[in-house]
Amino acid sequence: MAQETQGAEGTQRLERGEHITREITRIPQRFPPERVWLVCFAASLCLLALFAVSAFVLFRNGVGMWGNNIPVNWGLAISNYIFFVGIGHAGTLISAMLLILNEHWRNALNRFAEAMTLVAVICAGLYPILHLGRYWRFYWMAPYPNTMDLWPQFKSPLTWDFFAVLTYLIVSLLFWYIGIVPDLATMRDRSKKRRGQVLYGIFALGWRGSARHWQRWNQAYRVTAAIAVPLVVSVHSEISLLFAAGPIAGWTSTVFPPYFVMGAAFSGFAVVSMIAIVLRHAFGLHDVVTDRHLDLLAKLLLACGLMTSFGYVAEAFDALYSGEDYDVQTLVDRLSGQYAWSYWGAVILNFVPLQLLWWKAVRQKPVVLFVVGGCVVVGMWLERYMLLVTTLYRDYLVSSYGEYHASFWEWSLFAGMLGVFFTPFLLFVRYLPMISAFEIKEALFEDRGERKGKAGGASVHA
Amino acid sequence: MQHVPPVTPVQKKQAAPRSVLQDFAEERSMIARLSAEFPALAPDATGINRRSLLKAMGASLALAGVAGCTSQADETAMPYVEQPEGETPGIARWYATATSFAGYAQPVFGKTYSGRPVKLEGNARDQATRGAIDPFTQAALLGLYDPHRSQAPRYLGQPGSWTRWERWSVEEAARLDRNGGNGLRFLTGRVTSPTLRRQMANLLQRWPNARWHTHEPFSADEAHDATSAVFGRPLDRHLRPDRADVIVALDDDFLGPGPWQVRHARDWSDKRRAMQQGQGESWMAVAEPLPTLTGVTATQRLIAHHDKVALLVRGLAARLGLVESPPILEGQEAAWLDEVHARLQASRGTSLVLVGHTQPTEVQALGLLINEALGNWGRTISFRTPVAALAPEGNRSLQVLVEEMLQGRVSTLVMLDTDPLATTPAALEFGAALANVEAAVHAGLYADETAALSHWHLPIEHPLESWTDLRAPDGTVTVVQPLVKPFWSVRSQHEILDNLAGHQNTLAGHQNTPARAIVQQSWRADWGVNFEERWAQALLDGFVDDTAEPTVVPAVQSRAAASTAEAAEPAFASGLTLLVRPDPTIWDGRYSEIAWLQELPKPITKITWGNAVLVSPALAADRGLANEDAVEVLVDGRSLRGPVWIVPGQDPATVVIFAGGGRSGGLAEGYGIDPMQLLPANGKTVVSGVELRPTGEQMPVATTQPHHAMHGHDFVRSVKREDLPDLEPMLEEHPSFYPEPDWSSPSWGMAIDLDVCIGCNACVIACQSENNIPVVGKELVAQGREMHWLRVDHYHEGPVQEPDMAFQPVPCMHCEQAPCEMGCPVNAAVHSYDGLNLQVYNRCIGTRTCSSFCPYKVRRFNWFDFTQEDPESLQAMRNPEVTVRQRGVMEKCTYCIQRIANTRIEAQKEGRPIADGEVVTACQAACPTTAITFGNVLDPDTVVSRQKAQARNYALLGELNTRPRTTYLAKISDRAEPAPPSEIKS
B986 contacts on A by Cβ (under 8 Å): none
Q: β-strands B576-581, B654-658: how paired?
A: parallel
Beta carbons within 10 angstroms of residue B536's beta carbon: 13
Nearest of A121, A83, A138, A75 to residue A408 by alpha carbon: A75
Q: Note whether A211 contacts B: Cβ–Cβ < 8 A.
A: no
Contact A398 B795 (CB under 8 A): yes
Contact A400 B857 (CB under 8 A): yes
- Is A20 inside a domain boundary? no
The residues near B787 (Cβ < 8 Å, ≥ 6 apart) are B773, B774, B775, B776, B860, B862, B866, B891
| HEC profile of B640-653 | EEEEEEECCCCCCC
Phi/psi region, residue B122 (left: phi>0; alpha: psi -120 to 50; beta: rest), is beta
Quote the crossing angle between the two packed helices B762-770 and B135-145, to the nearest 10°.
30
Quickly state the pLDDT bin for B700 (edges 50, 70, 90).
very high
Please compute the mean of the pLDDT values over residues B550-570 and round it to a whole number. 76
Beta carbons within 10 angstroms of residue A219's beta carbon: 10
Q: Note whether A162 contacts B: Cβ–Cβ < 8 A.
A: yes
CA-to-CA distance for B382 and A341, rounded, in angstroms? 63
- Is A8 inside a domain boundary? no
The 3-state DSSP composition of chain B as helix, strand, coil percent (nearest 5) reads 30, 20, 50
Query: In this predicted model, what pLDDT tens digit does every residue of B907-919 receive, in sequence order?
Result: 999 999 999 999 9
CA-to-CA distance for A203 and A187, rounded, in angstroms? 10
The rounded Cα B922 to chain-centroid distance in angstroms is 14
The residues near A100 (Cβ < 8 Å, ≥ 6 apart) are A222, A225, A226, A229
b/e map B273-289, b = 16+ CB within 10 Å? bebbeeeebbbbbbbbb
Domain count, chain A: 1
Whether the Cβ atoms of residue A388 and residue A75 lie closer than 8 Å to each other = yes
CA-to-CA distance for B352 and B367, rounded, in angstroms? 10
- Put simply, whether the predicted model's pTM sits higher than 0.80 gets the answer yes
Quickly state the pLDDT bin for B561 (edges 50, 70, 90).
confident
ipTM value for the complex = 0.91
| DSSP class per residue in B557-571 | ---HHHHHHHH----
- Is A13 inside a domain boundary? no
CA-to-CA distance for B121 and B133, rounded, in angstroms? 7
Query: Looking at the predicted structure, is the pLDDT value of residue B738 above 90?
Result: no
Give the pLDDT score at A332. 93
Query: Looking at the predicted structure, is the pLDDT value of residue B2 above 70?
Result: no
Whether the Cβ atoms of residue B539 and residue B481 lie closer than 8 Å to each other = yes
Quickly state the pLDDT bin for B32 (edges 50, 70, 90).
low
Dihedral, B878, B882, B887, B891 alpha carbons, nearest 10: -130
b/e map B176-186, b = 16+ CB within 10 Å? beeeebbbbbb
* CATH classification at residue A314: 1.20.1630.10
Contact B784 A134 (CB under 8 A): no
- Is A67 inside a domain boundary? yes
CA-to-CA distance for B720 and B755, rounded, in angstroms? 12
CA-to-CA distance for B27 and A240, rounded, in angstroms? 79
Nearest of B562, B556, B611 to residue B582 by alpha carbon: B611
Sheet of B412-416: strand order equals B158-159, B154-155, B456-459, B439-444, B412-416, B184-188, B211-214
Distances (CA, A) of A195 to A29, A187, A192, B351, B683: 12, 12, 9, 100, 89
Whether the Cβ atoms of residue B578 and residue B46 lie closer than 8 Å to each other = no
Residue type for position B408: G
Nearest of B613, B177, B853 to residue A392 by alpha carbon: B853
CA-to-CA distance for B828 and B889, rounded, in angstroms? 10
**pLDDT: which is higher, B80 or A306:** A306
Cis? peptide before B746, omega within 30° of 0? yes
- Nearest CB to B846 within list A63, A329, A402: A63
Taking only residues 824 to 843 of chain B, the set having a beta carbon closer than 8 angstroms to any beta carbon of chain A reads: 824-827, 843
Contact A395 B855 (CB under 8 A): yes
Contact A73 B851 (CB under 8 A): yes
Radius of gyration, alpha carbons of chain B: 30
- Is A84 inside a domain boundary? yes
Residue type for position B699: M
- Is A458 inside a domain boundary? no
Give the pLDDT score at B755. 94
Dihedral, B133, B139, B142, B143 alpha carbons, nearest 10: -100
Domains of chain B (ranges plus CATH)? 236-384 (3.40.228.10), 574-703 (2.40.40.20), 718-735+746-973 (3.30.70.20)
CA-to-CA distance for B604 and B792, rounded, in angstroms? 10
φ and ψ at residue B554, rounded to 5 degrees: -70, 165
Taking only residues 85 to 144 of chain A, the set having a beta carbon closer than 8 angstroms to any beta carbon of chain B reads: 128, 131-135, 137-138, 140-141
Query: In this predicted model, what pLDDT tens digit does every residue of B656-683 receive, in sequence order?
Result: 999 999 888 778 888 999 999 999 988 8
φ and ψ at residue B211, rounded to 5 degrees: -130, 150
Distance from CA of B711 to the nearest CA of A (A): 8
Enclosing domain of residue A189: 32-448
CA-to-CA distance for A11 and A16, rounded, in angstroms? 8
The 3-state DSSP composition of chain A as helix, strand, coil percent (nearest 5) reads 80, 0, 20
Taking only residues 308 to 327 of chain A, the set having a beta carbon closer than 8 angstroms to any beta carbon of chain B reads: 325
**B205-209, B264-268, B574-578, B919-923: which range is least confident on average?**
B574-578
CA-to-CA distance for B500 and B514, rounded, in angstroms? 14
Query: Looking at the predicted structure, is the pLDDT value of residue B7 above 90?
Result: no
Contact B861 A133 (CB under 8 A): yes
CA-to-CA distance for B149 and B106, rounded, in angstroms? 21
Quickly state the pLDDT bin for B599 (edges 50, 70, 90).
very high
Nearest chain A alpha carbon to B844: A134
**For chain B, percent of residues with pLDDT exceeding 70:** 88
A245 contacts on B by Cβ (under 8 Å): 822-823, 853
- Nearest CB to B857 within list A138, A161, A395: A395
CA-to-CA distance for A298 and A358, rounded, in angstroms? 9
Query: Looking at the predicted structure, is the pLDDT value of residue B976 above 80?
Result: no
pLDDT by residue for chain A (462 residues), tens digit each? 445 555 666 677 777 777 778 878 778 777 777 888 999 999 999 999 999 999 999 999 999 999 999 999 999 999 999 999 999 988 888 888 888 888 888 888 888 999 999 999 999 999 999 999 999 999 999 998 888 888 999 999 999 999 999 999 999 999 999 999 999 998 898 888 899 899 999 999 999 989 999 999 999 999 999 999 898 889 999 999 999 998 998 898 888 999 999 999 999 999 999 999 999 888 888 888 888 889 999 999 999 999 999 999 998 998 899 888 899 999 999 999 999 999 999 999 999 999 999 998 888 899 999 999 999 999 999 999 999 999 999 989 999 999 999 999 999 999 999 999 999 999 999 889 888 888 888 777 776 655 554 444 333 333
Radius of gyration, alpha carbons of chain A: 24
Residues linked to residue B353 through DSSP beta bridges, in sequence order: B248
CA-to-CA distance for B500 and B508, rounded, in angstroms? 17
Please compute the mean of the pLDDT values over residues B847-859 and round it to a whole number. 94
- Is A25 inside a domain boundary? no
Query: In this predicted model, what pLDDT tens digit does every residue of B499-518 receive, in sequence order?
Result: 888 887 765 444 556 888 88
The rounded Cα A30 to chain-centroid distance in angstroms is 28
Give the pLDDT score at B517. 87
Distance from CA of B713 to the nearest CA of A (A): 9
Beta carbons within 10 angstroms of residue A447's beta carbon: 12
CA-to-CA distance for B801 and A58, rounded, in angstroms? 46
The residues near B145 (Cβ < 8 Å, ≥ 6 apart) are B487, B873, B874, B876, B877
Q: Note whether A410 contacts B: Cβ–Cβ < 8 A.
A: no
Distances (CA, A) of B983 to B618, B713, B718, B799: 17, 11, 16, 7
Residue type for position B250: L
Q: β-strands B477-480, B654-658: how paired?
A: unpaired
Give the pLDDT score at A443. 76
